[in-house]
């Protein structure tokens, strides 16, 4: 199975997405999955990633080579972001029909939250506080990367911490029900339909 994940900005997001999605798909009974990160075009941010025409161009170009395409962005405290993603999914479905399996998800609030959900966190951190924080990257992820001594490694520690977190995909699903688990359930249905 060949999966293309379209991040809002691959430069750092790739280090989170590749290990988490590879492990997730293996857990979803797709052991021979190849997860590829969309690097061309570089969307460079969520505003570009939410433009239907930009996403449709990528889908049109990539769909013949992919079994599943996933748009993955941060929520960034935007309450209406899920609705915008639903609209993009519906438009892609209308435009491309059954020949494309396209999913869109927003991490609550940032992709780094998914990584933190799969790690053993400092004892004085409460998950409810972390989950409620809009600036998870600055308030929690970056301090943890410094504490763990990986802040100068690939992606500012994202690669090392995401690889560690990927071994606990079930914990991520449990701690992130509105986003990561919701996507996992939809992907599982998509895999079964293949």
Alpha-carbon distance 3 to 36, whole Å?
6
Tell me if residue 165 falls in helix, strand or coil: helix
Neighbours of 52 (CB within 10 A): 13
Backbone angles phi, psi at 171, to 5 degrees: -65, -40
pLDDT reading at 118 higher than 70? yes
Contact 141, 112 (CB under 8 A): yes
The domain segmentation of the chain, as residue ranges, is: 2-192
Angle at CA 13, nearest 5°, toward 172 and 90? 80
> Any residues with CB less than 8 A from the CB of 79 and at least 6 apart, and which?
none
Predicted local confidence at residue 96, as pLDDT: 96
pLDDT reading at 19 higher than 70? yes
Give residue-wise pLDDT tens across range 126-136: 999 999 999 99
Alpha-carbon distance 123 to 143, whole Å?
14
Predicted local confidence at residue 190, as pLDDT: 84
Predicted local confidence at residue 194, as pLDDT: 64
DSSP state of 140: I
Q: Rounded mean pLDDT of 19-23?
A: 97
> Any residues with CB less than 8 A from the CB of 56 and at least 6 apart, and which?
91, 92, 95
Copy the structure tokens of residue 64.
């013949």
pTM of the model: 0.96
pLDDT reading at 192 higher than 70? yes
């Amino acid at each position: 199975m060949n999966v293309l994940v379209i991040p809002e900005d691959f430069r750092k997001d790739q280090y989170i997405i590749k290990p988490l999605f590879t492990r997730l798909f293996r857990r979803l009974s797709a052991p021979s999955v190849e997860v590829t990160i969309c690097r061309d075009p570089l969307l460079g941010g969520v505003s570009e990633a939410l433009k239907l025409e930009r996403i449709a161009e990528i889908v049109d170009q990539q769909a013949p080579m992919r079994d599943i395409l996933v748009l993955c962005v941060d929520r960034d405290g935007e309450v209406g972001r899920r609705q915008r993603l639903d609209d993009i999914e519906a438009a892609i479905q209308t435009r491309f029909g059954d020949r494309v399996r396209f999913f869109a998800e927003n991490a609550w609030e940032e992709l780094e939250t998914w990584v933190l959900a799969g790690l053993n966190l400092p004892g004085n951190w409460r998950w409810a506080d972390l989950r409620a924080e809009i600036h998870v990257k600055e308030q929690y992820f970056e301090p943890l990367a410094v504490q763990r001594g990986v802040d100068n490694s690939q992606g500012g520690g994202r690669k090392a911490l995401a690889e560690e977190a990927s071994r606990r995909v079930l914990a991520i699903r449990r701690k992130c029900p509105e986003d990561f688990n919701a996507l996992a359930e939809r992907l599982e249905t998509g895999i079964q339909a293949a």
